[in-house]
Every structure is written in C-alpha cells, then in structure tokens.
Structure 1
C-alpha cells in the first residue's frame, strides 16, 4: 500500500522524501516559493490583526484623528497603492530578468538559478509579496457602511513605504551581486553550504578508514562471481543516495552493497546500478531489490545536494567563459574561489569508499573517488584554453601553488603533478623575462611543496631544450 502511494506521488515530492532531513532543509530553503509563501502568510495575519485593531479598538483612536480618512478616500488610496506596488514589482523583476539573461550568456546559465536562490533575493521578493497581499486583503476588508478609518490608512502608507524602500535595497543588492567576484563568491558559498555540510553530516560518519578491520570486507574483493546485480530501470542523473537508510536496511537484511556509479552520473536503463552479496547474516529468503532502488533517486538534471563535482563544475564554467571573453580579472577571481572550494572538499571528505554500520561491519562499497579527479574537473578544461597565453598559464600555476601550500602533505604531490602537466602543455614562448621567472618560480615552489627536486631539475632541462626557458636557468639550478 505504501509502495503504491509512493509511486503515485509527483516526482518533486518523491525527491524530497528520498532526502535526509538536512538535505530536505537545504533544498527547501533554496526553492523560490518557500520564503515568499511565508511572507504571504505573514501578510494575511497582519491584515487580520489590522482588522481587529481597526474595528475592536476604535474608541481609543481619538488621539489619531489627524490620520483618519473617509471610506471613499481610503478606497482610493488603497486602489492607487495596490496598482503602484504591483507596477513597481513587475518593473523591478522584468528588468532584473533581462539583465540576468544577458549575464547568463556572458558567464553561465546557472547565474540565474544562483541569484534566485540567494537568501537576500528571496527576502526581497517576499517583502514585495507581503506589501502587495496586505494591501489586497485590506482592500477587500473596506466596508462602505463604515464612514471613517484610522489604522488602515496608516498601515497602507507604511506598507507602500516599505515596498519602495525594499525596491531601493533590492536594486543595490542586485547591482553588487552582479559583479563577477560576487557571483563566484556566492556560488562557492552555496556549494560549501549545500554540499560539504550535507556530506559531512550524512556520509562522513559512516566512512571506514581501514576496510581490512571491518567484518565482511572480503566480499567485494574476492567474491565478485557471487554478486547479485541490480539494473537501472529508468534514465536520468543520479541525484541523491540515502546512505543512512541504505546502511540501515542492509544491516537489517544482512547484505553488503557495492555501488557502480557516482552521484551525478547519467544512467541508462539496464545499466548496473549496484550489486549485493548475501551472507550468513542474511535474514530474508528474497532480498527486496526494489526497496533499495527507491533509495537511489534519479532526476532529469544534475544538482549539488550531494554532487561534489557539480559545485566545482559551475565555477569552472565561469572560468572558461572568462578566458573566452578575454577577462583575466574574472578568471583570477574564479580560480581563487575554485581552490577555496577544493580545499574545503579535501578537508571534509576522506575519499574512502567503504561505509560501515554501527557494529563495524562493511555495508556499502562506493565507487572509488580521488582528490585528483576534482582537481582535473576544476582545471582540466581551463588548462586547454590557457596553453597559448603565458600570463594565464602563470596565473593557473600560481593558483596551484596557493592550493599546494594549504593542502595536507599527502595531497601536495597531486598539485605538483598537475602543475607539470600545465607547464608541459604550454605551447608558446615567453616575451618577457618576468614571465619566465614567474614560470620557473611557480614550478620550483610546487616541487618544494611536493619534495621532488629531481623531477624539477629534469623538467627545467626539458624546457631549456625546447627553448621555453634560457640556459641560464639550468646554470642557476646547478649552482
């Protein structure tokens, strides 16, 4: 019965039910309709309170006789204020959408989504709705049998003033937000909040650093032939995995699961979604495979609730557009936000694919991920675009130096390796000695961080032979 009810639910509702409470909270907060709906409810309550004060406490308003207006004037005021607030709202958001559409073409279409999901934007939209719906509801409260009003005119003027003030603040917010540094910073912060916090609380607590110390750890390594494979039934992006429920149900059934795809992967029907092994602890004769399928939610687009690489990819898209539009300043800002996000990922995520239950028994084996994968996602496409520009190549190497200095010791060599790839792909000659010196210094710093001087010496010699660096740099190294 519950299964049939779940299948009849709309896809957005099923998606929300598939999330953990923390994921559901982040997704709800990012939706455009939630906060404005709350403001509309507040407007309804305020209008009821105003109605009660206006008609229940009328004898006490003799001191406010200067603000008292007749019915006809009050009705005219409210009809005028209603049309004015509605026109102001329409003009504001029509203009903003036009500007944001142009910015989407300049940077990435995801700019519009990030602006709409920004909390200050949602509060501004909510306040516009608050003012409009308050005026609308009170307008219908006006009664021709009541000759004079005191609270309604005062409240209407205050709401109109609030709407105008909100318009000014919203324009100021939109103007500041639409600057490139603000866009990239906002994207990075949203990725940290919606990805890193969610994974830290919903996934990292199940990770096991050493699978050899777990019970049943031998199954994925030695008994692949006994695995029961479960195929995907529909196509779409793997958006959410409810790891907590998966582990809970696997522990209850006494099985071990192995996932065959990453979050964010696009899946087609009949592709293997996951495998599982029964053990001596298995408590059921037939494992309900459909139950486990429902804990892996597929959708028609990528999102960043659990997808780490998607947050990195959004910033990378802006960096690529900045290179194409010849905007080195925007590229530099975006690279800084990228390495800040990568550093947060390195600190929060242990990249161990083994998840265990509370009894230290292996329950889930995820598809292996490495920090180098995220580094490639961030800089792989960018390095292709900057290989003919010495200034941008040095900028990318400088970014890798900053990241390497902040990373733990076990990940510094990854930046050094990628720095070698970027340097070796550089296809032009340096026009200025300053560019050569910066190129040499960045590579030297990366090699020092990775503690690999021998490879650095070979690399310098290679660049001297290619003519990228003069022979004096080899002599400098030798001395």
Structure 2
C-alpha cells in the first residue's frame, strides 16, 4: 500500500509541465531543506574524513584541536540547541500563518512559504541539525583522540544558525508589514501579466477574424470533455496552436484559466477542414486541471489575493491597509491595459485562425479587481473616495480605449452616495475626485449631467 501511494505521488510530479513543476517545487516547504540536508551530509563526510583518515586533529594540536570528550560534549550541546532553535522557528512560522489567515487571507500563505528567505532559513537550521547529529553518531575515540574539522565546522554552523535566526526574525517582521506583503503580491501579479498576457499570447493575437468559417460563427463543432474535475491551472497555448496547425483545425476554449470544470464539462470545441480522425487526448494534455487554483497563469486569482486583503481590512476597520491594497490593484490593472489588446483570436505562423479564447476585456479585469472592494466599501465614503482617486490615477496611464470603462465604473460607484455624506468635506472630496476623473477621461459633459440628476 505504501509503495502504491509513493508511486502515485511520484507520478503526479512526472505528469506536470516544466512550468507547473517549477512553481510546485518553489511553493513547497520541504524542497530547499532537503537540498541543505544533502549538503550537510557531504560536509559531514568531508570533515569526518579529514579527522579520521587524515588525522587533522593530531596535526593541529595543541592550540586548535579538541580531544574526544570535549568534541562529544560540544556536539551534544549543539545537537539539542540546533533542534530547539529549529522547532522554535517552525513554531514562529505557524504563528505567522495563523496571523495571515485571520487578518488577511489564507491564500497568501503560499507567498510566505515560497519566499526564498523562509526556505533558506529552514534549510540552514535543518542542515545544521543533521550535521551535528551525524557527526555525534560517527565520532569514535578508538580511531582518533583529537578532532579538528568536526568541532570547527559544528561551531561555525552554530554561529551561522544564530545569525540566521536573527535574520529570520527580521524577515518575518518585515513580511508582516502590509506594504511589503502587498508589494510582493503585486509583483507576482505583474509577472503573470508580462509572462502570460504579453510574452506568451500577444505575439499570436489578431484583432478580428471576420472571414472565419461559418460553422464557427454558428457555434457548431466537436466537443472534447474535460475528463477530470477541478480548476484549470495551466494551458500550454503555444503547443496547442502548433498542434492545431498540424491537424489543420480551429479550437475554441469554452473555459479559461481559473475556471472550475466537471468531468463531463465540454472543455474545448474544435472544427476540422477534413475527414481525418483527430486524436483528442493530446489536446487534453495541454491543460492542467487540479484540485486548487494557482498563480502560475491565473492573473485573476493573483489579483483576488489583494482584493481579499482590502476586504478583510475594511472588516477590521483598517482603511489604510485597504487603501494600500486598492492602489496595488490599480497598478496591476494599468499594466494589463498597457500590455494587451484583449483580442481573443490567436493565429499560427501562417496567419490562420487556430485558437479562440474566452472574451476578456478591460471591464472584466476592472470589475474583478475593484468591483468586490466597491461592494464592501459601499457604506464607507472615505474608502470609496480613494477608489475614485485610484481610478483617476489609473486613467492617466491607461490606454485611451479603456477611458470609458473607468468612467462608467466611477459613475456606478458614485450613484447612491448622496445620503451617506455625513460631513460637507466628505461630499467635497468625493465629487472632487469624480471631477478629476472626468477631466482625465474627457467626460466633463457626463459629469455635469450626473450632477443634475442627483
């Protein structure tokens, strides 16, 4: 039974794409400590070989070598001390996890785990413990009476571990700061925008295909079912386009990255220009459908982490944190507007239509980014005013085609706030922010009409 479970566990990793495997390895807490354990085993082998075979201890007497009793005592103390500090560090990680889950969002815990600093700190502690433990196990008084390499290396690792522990305390405190945390999530989202929307898809996009086959316009085609339930984590668009070019077919994705599908859900539809049979399973291999969402290609999931931080902050009466998250979301939306033309048509290198994506325009991302926050801030005039200020700041950098989307969002945000202004200053700041946005997006006439209605 254990062998079967191990085989199933290993197969899960062998079936992953290189991109998915890299993300999984980086987001797991065990990978880096295991590497450090291997390094510590190599270090144990070298230091024991120096003391037992080359008798470095005898050569370094009397100033630098330690006798067997003192070496044994030193390793015993360091073994218990290193284990204690490792356990304390893991306990500190759990405290950070609990704080993040309760105050912000359980979905951002992976960001802390995937942090190189967190993984390296745990790797150093684990590797140091394994080193002193194995050294304690292999030292032998009958082979040599004096040791040099083993106690010297153990002492160095103890000092290094103490310095690492101080660094980790500082790292955890810095990560708990809202600005640092939200900035890391913003960088993660911007990486997805540049990696998926810009570098991976834009080179294949065209604005429109008016001469598309009539069967595609009529919605006719052959469906391929998902085959397994879960979230669509990854799609290998480039390989799919190349394979569709070989088979001379056109494919339409019925669902996009981040969508949940059932086993019998039609995942994609294809149209072929010949009667030759198509091997459908190879197209399912371009999809990664798993039990949970990930941030590898899912820009909306990455944005939603910042949205959850803002919503939790509103519930905890922390408007500053909410405002910080709103501005980070705004920066991501600006990047999306700048790097993509929102076309859902992808062609091959011969300019033949091969892939039709789900339609995603700027309105979609704007609503997913700020719509939920607007809903939970509907009774908070100050935070809603900040949303208008963010929209104005965004409009100064957005592609002009998205001005109307931002203005419409602002108008819907402003509707119904007249009765919530407790102070005259609230009304002034709110409508000043709306006026500035109208000026930026060239909607002053609509702004005047809106004021007349209210």
Give the alignment's TM-score, normalised by structure 1. Answer: 0.87
Please name the residue that 2:316 is paired with.
Answer: 325
1:231 alignment partner, one of 225, 232, 237 = 225
CA distance in 2, matches of 1:56, 1:129: 27
Asked whether 1:266 is paired with 2:264, we answer no
User: Alpha-carbon deviation of 1:238?
Assistant: 1.2
In the other structure, the counterpart of 2:124 is: 127
The 10-residue stretch of structure 1 (49-58 or 127-136) with the greater mean CA deviation from structure 2: 49-58
What residue is the counterpart of 1:92 in the other structure?
89
CA shift at 1:338, angstroms? 1.0
1:396 counterpart (378, 387, 408): 387
8 Å CA contact retained: 1:15, 1:297: no
Q: Deviations over 1:265-306 (max 9, x none)?
A: 1112322211111114x7xx2111122122222111111111
Q: Which residue of 2 aligns with 1:244?
A: 238
The TM-score normalised by the length of structure 2 is 0.92
Question: In structure 1, what is the Cα distance between the partners aligned to 2:145 and 2:258?
Answer: 64
Paired residue for 1:118, among 111, 115, 121? 115
Q: Equivalent of 1:222, from 208, 217, 239?
A: 217
1:175 to 148, 165, 173: 173
1:42–1:361: structure 2 CA closer, same or farther, 3 Å change rule?
same
Mapped to 1, the partners of 2:204 and 2:28 lie a distance apart of: 29
Moved more, 237-246 or 163-172: 237-246
Give the drift of 1:90: 0.4
State how far apart, in whole Å, the 1-side matches of 2:162 and 2:440 are: 55
Worse-matched range after superposition: 131-140 or 335-344:
131-140
CA distance in 1: counterparts of 2:148 and 2:180, whole angstroms: 45
Equivalent residue for 1:443?
434
Note if 1:417 corresponds to 2:404: no
Shift of 1:60: 8.9
Is 1:431 equivalent to 2:422 in the alignment? yes
| Residues 368-387 of structure 1 aligned to structure 2 (within 5 Å) | 368-387=359-378
In the TM superposition, what whole-angstrom CA distance separates every residue of 1:136-188 from its partner, at most 9, and x where no partner exists?
23223312211110111111111111111111110111011112222211222
Shift of 1:220: 5.9
Contact residue 400 and residue 419 of structure 1 kept, 8 A = yes
When residues 51 and 208 of structure 1 are mapped into structure 2, their CA distance, relative to the original with a 3 A threshold, is farther
Aligned residues: 448
Aligned equivalent of 1:315: 306
What runs of 5+ residues in structure 1 fail to find an aligned partner?
1-7, 464-479
Give the match for residue 272 of structure 2. 278
Q: Is the 8 A contact 2:51 2:57 kept in 1?
A: no
| 1:190 counterpart residue number | 188
Q: Cα–Cα, structure 1 residues 295 and 138, in superposed 2: closer, same or farther, change >3 Å?
A: same
Deviations 1:370-417 (A, max 9, x none): 111111111112112222222111111111111111211111221111
- Displacement of 1:61: 6.8
SS of alignment partner, residue 276 of structure 1: strand
Q: Partners in 2 of 1:147 and 1:174 — Cα distance?
A: 43
Decide whether the 8 Å contact of 1:404 with 1:449 is kept in 2.
Answer: yes
Contact 1:354 1:366 in 2 (8 A): yes
SS in 1 for 2:63: helix
Cα 1:122/1:199, change in 2 over 3 Å: farther
Do the aligned residues in 2 keep the contact of 1:258 with 1:365 (CA within 8 Å)? yes
Residue 396 of structure 2 aligns to a residue whose secondary structure is helix
CA-atom RMSD in angstroms: 2.3
| 2:345 equivalent in structure 1 | 354
- Structure 1 27/200 Cα, relative in aligned 2: closer, same or farther at 3 Å? farther
Q: Deviations over 1:293-325 (max 9, x none)?
A: 222221111111111110111110110111111
Out of 452-461 and 344-353, give the one that drifted further.
344-353
Identify the residue that residue 475 of structure 1 maps to in structure 2.
Answer: none
Which aligned pairs between 1:159-174 and structure 2 lie closer than 5 A? 159-174=157-172
Native 8 Å contact 2:231 2:260 kept in 1: yes
Give the conservation status (yes or no) of the 8 Å contact 2:293–2:301.
yes
The aligned residue for residue 3 of structure 1 is none
Please report how far the alpha carbon of residue 22 of structure 1 lies from its aligned counterpart in structure 2 after TM superposition.
4.3
SS at 1:211 equivalent:
coil
Cα deviation, 1:94-120, whole Å, max 9, x if unaligned, reads: 133124213311111123222111111
1:195 positional shift: 5.5
Tell me, what secondary structure is at the counterpart of 1:75? helix
Partner of 2:3: none
Query: 1:149 corresponds to which residue?
Result: 147
Equivalent runs, 1:25-40 vs 2, <5 Å: 25-40=22-37
